[in-house]
Homo-oligomer: A and B are copies of this chain.
Amino acid sequence: MSAYETLEQRFRRLNALREAAGILHWDMSAMMPRGGAEARSEQLTALDLTCHELMNDPALTDLFAEAEQGAGRLDPWRRANLREMRRGWRHETALDARLVEALTKTQHRCEMTWREARPANDFAAVLPCFAELLTLVRESADTKAAALGRTPYDALLDQFEPGGASARIDAIFDDLAAFLPEFLGRVIERQAASPAPMTPPGPFPIAKQEALARKLMQGVGFDFDHGRLDTSLHPFCGGVPDDVRITTRYDEADFTSALMGVLHETGHAMYERGLPVDWRFQPVGAAAGMAAHESQSLLVEMQACRGREFVGYMAPLARAAFGGTGPAWEADNLHRLANKVAPDFVRVDADEVTYPAHIILRYRLEKAMIAGDLDPKDLPGAWNEGMESLLGIRPPDDRLGCLQDIHWYDGAWGYFPTYTLGAMAAAQFFAAAKAAVPDIPEAIGRGDFAPLMAWLRENVHAQGSLHTTDDLLKQATGKPLDPEVFKAHLTARYLA
């Protein structure tokens, strides 16, 4: 067996074990009774340690060296696979056992403290632990930077967005930050001149919401022979490509939140399902990165399902499902409701226009903290000032400010920018898909996503990690990430 083939075999085992952990994580959120937590933690730790040991086998160094000598003879998929194997291996082996253990423990402690500090609005309670975690994250960023030949922040970013570069993101986000305030003002002014959207009156029984959600999921193309829809506290897309598990949470007073959440996760699910079947269990068979992943969920939710065609299709179905009557159920009203813009404090509830401001704020702050330019104790003030300057509103407390997201307290640094990069890529993919297949909007107006999904399957999903996100965009849309397409989308949707 060649060195490359041996590596494929090793990574096959590794990824099968990671898939096992993925199913266990899904179960933990969707099925596990609370009394199972301790045993589950032991199971997942054993899997983590096993994977860590697989990646830290000293034999891998020689195998990589040998495989790379012969890389010229590999086809593009195998070459890309080797590149992705190496990237994963470098991340996994950059940190020594002491640092890995310190990070794991401190992340866990910090997350647990945050879970109590957030409802209590008590940043001071989490600060010591948060500062300690930041020190460790900075140490790991420095170590990874050396191993990967990147800056410390970019080394963290590379875990979620392979090859991502903050120099480029700076430029994109600065441009967007300059564009948004005036644009937002015009959108608000315009929406104020239209009739205020009416909220359909509930309650909306959960069973009926779920039945409607399943119907719409099937329209998007979700295959229930290869996946499930369940309930969890925090909606997510988990499982594995051939068995995708999405979750939602239902609010009996508002059916749109679960429904739009389900459509968002279905976008993620379609990406997973469409990944190249020949490359299951290999790194090149995985999604190209978190920006690409988010582009697929936002394409379905934001680009397609909040558009006029889909809302026109959905409105009578929703009205029938819940036995609704009256003007609140008109497609025009539901469309206005689905696209209402208003600056607010909480990212996860933000509309499409203000969302990037939330991300730009977090990106700038985490970069400053990783660089050592922002002391954790000064985070609440910096956060509130940032919100004021980007969105013109000041959080009344830290619960609605710097305590709202789990990411930093759980050790996910370098993740935030992928949300807005994904939103931009979504606009770009959707525009290219419509240009290539002009009847996509009309089909969506009949609840039929097949033409859109056929294009995405070929141009995005089935590409796996063959290309970086930028190269993927170039191949599929003719150019790398272009914020102007996103701006054009916003302008068309909110000011046309």
Contact = CB atoms under 8 A, between A and B. Distances in A.
Interface stretch (A25-33, A178-186, A432-440, A469-477): A25-33
A309 interface: no
A7 B239 CA distance: 33
Interface string A42-78: 1111110110000000000000000000000000000
A285 to B, nearest CB: 12
Interface string A276-303: 0000110000000000000000000000
A240 interface: yes
Given A13-B49, A31-B31, A50-B50, A20 B43 contact: yes
Contact of A33 (B16, B23, B40, B243): B243
Interface string A220-253: 0001111110000000000111110000000000
A35 interface: yes
A47 B227 contact: no
A17 B225 CA distance: 27
B242 A31 contact: no
The size class of the interface chain A forms with chain B is: 35 or more
A21 B20 CA distance: 8
Nearest to A224: B33
A16 to B, nearest CB: 4
A182 B21 CA distance: 55
Contacts of A45: 16
Contact of A32 (B13, B38, B243, B280): B243
Nearest to A227: B33
A19 interface: yes
A24 interface: yes
Interface of A: 12-13, 16-17, 19-21, 23-24, 27, 31-36, 38-40, 42-47, 49-50, 223-228, 239-243, 280-281
